[in-house]
Amino acid sequence: MRIALAIITALFISSSYADTFSMRNCLLLPVTDSAGNSLGYKVYEGIETYLKTSKWCDYKSSAELIEVFSRYRDRLQEHLKDPKVLTTVSNRTSAGSLVRVSLEYEVNQVKVEMDIVGENGTDIYFSEKDTLQDTSPDQIVQTVRSWLELYETTIPYDGKVLGVLGDQLTFTYPKKLKLDVGQGFRVRRFVSKNKHPLLKKVVEWDTDLLARGKVFNVNDNQALGLVKVYESNLKVSPNDWVVFEESTPGQVIEDTTYPEVKANQFGKLGFLTLYFDIASTSVGTNTADNNKATGFTYGVSAEVEAWLTRNYFVMGEFGRRLGTLSEQSGSLNLSEVSITSGSLKIGGGYKYLPLGFFYGPQINLTAGYASYSYDVEESSTDGFGKNSISGIFLGVGGNMPLQKGIRIFGGAQFIPFSSFDDEDNIFGSEKSSSSMVFRGGLKYQYSPLISLDAAFETQNNSVKFDSGSTTQLNYRDTVLKFGGSFIF
C-alpha cells in the first residue's frame, strides 16, 4: 500500500481502472533477483533494449517509476505482485501489458520466471518459467525474448479503433505488419475473459463480431478503414478490436462502393478554389477629426495549393474587391469614396498528417510573401490615398472531418515585420505597421473531385506614423466567401 500511495503522489495520477489500454502497449517492470539486484539490472537493460526496438510492442518508458520503486528495494518483489500498484503503473503509462521478470540465483543455475500482467493488475495474460544452467545475462535475456515473441502471437487482436466517422474508422496496427490498401479486417468487441480458476491466467477471450471492412488509407502505424458489412446492431466505438483477415499483398479494393478510395489515392497535383467575396470594409485615420468611412465591397478571390509530396506543398492566393464607402465619423471632404483593394500571397508549407493525407485531420505550417493593396479615392485632408502593406508572412492552419463529407477548417496568418508603401506621398514617415488575418470555414465534398466551400475571414492592417496630420491608418475587412474547390 505504501508504494502504491508513493507512485500516486509522485506522478499525480488516478488509480481508476478501465479496459482501454492496448496489449501492444508494453512496459517492463523492475527485474528482481536474489543476488542483490546485480544480475537483475543487467537483464533489465537487455530486455528493455529489445522492447524498445520490437515491432509488435509500443514501449512505454518507466524511468519515473524505476526511481519510485528504488525506494522500496527490500520488498520490491512483494510490491510488484500488488494489484493496486500494478493498476496504478498501468494507468500512469497507458500500458496494457506489464512485463514482470524475477530471477532466483542458485549455484551454477538461475530460475527465470516471466508473467505478462494485464492493466487491472490481476489478470495473467502469459506465464513462463525455466531453470537455466547458463547464468549469463545474455542467455537470460535471450530466453525472455523468445517468450515475449511467443506472447505476441497470443494477443487476440491486431489493432484498436481510435475513432469512427460514419462508415469510416481509424485504427492502430503493429509496426511488424506491412499493411496494404485492400486489406480486409473484422471489428470485434470484447465481452469477457475466461480465466484459469487457480492460476488467474486468461485462457480465452469472448467477443462479438460487429463489422467487416477494407483498408483504404495507411499512414505510419495508423490506418483508415471503410466498413462494408455490419454483423450486429451495435455501433463500432473506440477501443473495439481490429483483426486482419488473410489477403493478397498489394491487392486493391475493386468491389468497393466508395469511389473516393481510388479517387483519393495520392498522385493528384493539388486543388484550385474560387470564391465570390462580400466584405464589410472600413478605413479609419487618426486625423484631427478621426475620419472613418465604411461600406460593402464585392469581388472574387482564388487560392491554389500544389502538392510536392504528401507533406510539402506550394500555395498562392489572389483577391480583388471594389465598392463605395460612406462617412461614419469625422468630417470627410468627400461624402463618399470609392475603394479598390487586393491581396497577393505566394508561399509554401508543411502538412502534419496524423491519420493520412485525405481522410484524417491536417495541420499546415506556411510561410511566404504577402501584399495587401488599397486604392482609396485620394484626399490628403481626409488621410485617404493609394498604398500597400507587405512582407514575409507566417501562418498556421488546419482542417478536420466533422462528419462524413464535411470538413471544418481554420487558421491565422501574420506579417511579423511588415512594410508600408505610400504611393501618393500624403503620409508622414512610417513608425510601425502590422498585418493579421484570421479565417474559418466549412467544406462539403460534393463529389470526389469537387467541394462546395464557405469561409469567414477578418483582415486587419494598420500603420502608425511619426509625423504628419494622420498619425494612424487602419484597414479592416470582414469577408464572407462562397465558392468551390476543384482537385486537379
Residues 207/192, Cβ–Cβ less than 8 Å: no
- In total, the chain counts a number of residues equal to 488
On whether both 67 and 193 belong to a single domain, the answer is: no
133, 178: one domain: no
CATH number for 24: 3.40.50.10610
Give yes or no: residues 284 and 302 share one domain.
Answer: yes
CA distance 221 to 25: 13
Confidence (pLDDT) at 218: 81
Q: What is Dmax (Cα atoms) for the chain?
A: 105
Residues 109/35, Cβ–Cβ less than 8 Å: no
Task: Extract the C-alpha cell encoding 357.
Answer: 493525407
Is the Cα dihedral 263, 265, 267, 270 positive or negative?
Answer: positive
Same domain, 172 and 198: yes
**Final residue of a structural domain among 106, 132, 152:** 152
| Residue span of the structural domain in which 72 resides | 2-152
Where is 2: in which H helix or E strand? helix 2-11
E strand or H helix at 139: helix 137-152
* CATH code, domain carrying 380: 2.40.128.100
What is residue 185's predicted lDDT score, i.e. its pLDDT?
A: 94
pLDDT at 73: 66
- Domain final position from 231, 263, 295: 263
Question: Same domain for 275 and 208?
Answer: no
Tell me which residue has cell 515491432.
Answer: 55
Domain shared by 132 and 240, yes or no: no
178 and 73 in one domain?
Answer: no
**CATH number for the domain including 232?**
2.40.10.410
Q: Which three cell numbers stand for residue 138?
A: 545474455
What is each CA distance from 280 to 48, 296, 306, 384, 479, in whole angstroms? 62, 5, 31, 18, 6
* Rg of the chain over all Cα atoms, to the nearest angstrom: 32
How remote is the C-alpha of 287 from its chain's centroid?
A: 48
Cα–Cα distance measured from residue 443 to residue 410, given in angstroms and rounded to the nearest whole number = 11
> Cα dist. 126→77, 206, 431 in Å?
18, 17, 72
Q: Are residues 251 and 290 in the same domain?
A: no
141, 216: one domain: no
- Cα–Cα distance measured from residue 217 to residue 199, given in angstroms and rounded to the nearest whole number: 42
Residues 333 and 238 in one domain: no
Q: Total domain count for the chain? A: 3
58 and 124: one domain?
yes
d(CA 298, CA 446): 26
The CA-based angle 482-486-488, given to 5 degrees, is: 160
**End-to-end alpha carbon distance in the chain:** 63
Query: With a cut of 50, which residues of the chain have pLDDT below it?
Result: 1-18, 248-266
Among residues 152, 181, 213, the one where a domain terminates is 152
Strand partners, 386: 375
Q: How would you class 100 by CB atoms within 10 Å of its CB: exposed for 0-12, middle for 13-18, buried for 19 or more?
A: buried
- Indicate whether 225 and 305 sit together in one domain: no
